[in-house]
Structure 1
Amino acid sequence: MSLVEELKTRNFSIYGQWIGVLCIILCIALGIANIFHASLVIIFSIICIVQGLVVVFVEIPFLLRICPVTERFSNFIRFFNQNWPRAAFYIGMATIQYCSLIFMTTSLLVPAVFLTITSMCYALAALKHQEFTGSSTLGGAGIARQIL
């Protein structure tokens, strides 16, 4: 199935996965950009970078096969192969980034907003009783089944 066909299915877990990929880029880029603040925002910048790296493994399942990771980390990532756990995962990460606003308003607000949007996509998929579906472009169709 091509990317266009996947997007036409109106499955919100596909939308969530693609917005999650955008979150990877935003978290890493804006985490690095904000690491140079001379305040406690540095802590949230580091957390944002780590969040981006964790989301890489959550959203691109074939990386669990090709990257050397521990069994514990692999099991942690596999826990998020349902819509509700992913929605909770993303809203939790967004909440952490929203907390950075306590110290200073920075561009870390952007990853927080996109993490929230991703969480809403997965929550909508769960509320509509849509089956969790990974994008075949990101290795979700055949490869993800082998990993599990």
Structure 2
Amino acid sequence: MTLKEEFATRNFSIYGQWLGILSMILCFALGIANIFTIYILVLIISIVCLVFSFIILFIEVPLLLRICPTSSTFDATIRRISTNYMRAAAYAVMAVVQWMSLIQHASSLIAAAVFLSLTSICYLIAAVKKQGFVGSKTLGGAGVAQMIV
């Protein structure tokens, strides 16, 4: 199935997964960019944003759990975030943390907060519509991980 065919399925979990990848890229870039700030709260949240980028990477690209040497506790925690409701909740928590960066000073972390919120909304819509989670084959979804084993 090509990327165009995946988007044509109108399954919001695929939209959420791709928005999650965009969120990961934004969290990484903005986390690094905001480390050099004079505001302490923004500095702390930018470091948390950087950590979120790696967590999102493992959530959205399940193939990495097989490839990267991680602890069994970390693997079990990431595997618990497998349903649309759990993903929506995880992204909502990440979005709330990023929105908290506005408490002290407005920064570019708002972009990460917006994309994390949009990702959470997509997964929530998929859960409410009772659409099963469908991982993109491009990102290591169904079939790709089994080819390695």
TM-score, L = length of structure 1: 0.96
Cα drift, residue 143 of structure 1: 3.8
Name the structure 1 match of 2:27: 27
Residues 110, 33 of structure 1: alpha-carbon distance in 2 compared, 3 angstrom cutoff: same
Cα drift, residue 144 of structure 1: 5.2
Name the structure 2 match of 1:93: 94
CA distance in 2, matches of 1:142, 1:64: 15
CA distance in 1, matches of 2:17, 2:97: 20
Cα RMSD (Å):
1.4
Name the structure 1 match of 2:125: 124
Task: Determine helix, strand or coil for the equivalent of 1:119.
Answer: helix
CA distance in 2, matches of 1:86, 1:78: 11
CA distance in 2, matches of 1:84, 1:33: 31
Matched AA of 2:48:
I
Q: Following superposition of structure 1 onto structure 2, how do residues 1-148 of structure 1 map, counting pairs within 5 Å?
A: 1-40=1-40, 41-143=42-144
CA distance in 2, matches of 1:19, 1:124: 14
Task: Determine helix, strand or coil for the equivalent of 2:127.
Answer: helix
Listed as ranges, the gaps of 5+ residues in structure 2 are none
Task: Determine helix, strand or coil for the equivalent of 2:16.
Answer: helix
Matched AA of 2:104:
F
CA distance in 2, matches of 1:144, 1:84: 23
- Contact 1:97-1:111 within 8 A present in 2 as well: yes
Matched AA of 1:122:
Y
Cα drift, residue 45 of structure 1: 0.5
Listed as ranges, the gaps of 5+ residues in structure 1 are none
TM-score, L = length of structure 2: 0.95
Dislocated runs of 4+, deviation >4 Å = 144-147
Equivalent residues, number:
147
Task: Determine helix, strand or coil for the equivalent of 1:85.
Answer: helix
Cα drift, residue 141 of structure 1: 1.1
CA offsets per residue over residues 59-85 of structure 1, 9 Å max, x none? 011011110000000011101110000
- Contact 1:23-1:52 within 8 A present in 2 as well: yes
Cα drift, residue 29 of structure 1: 0.1
- Contact 1:61-1:143 within 8 A present in 2 as well: no
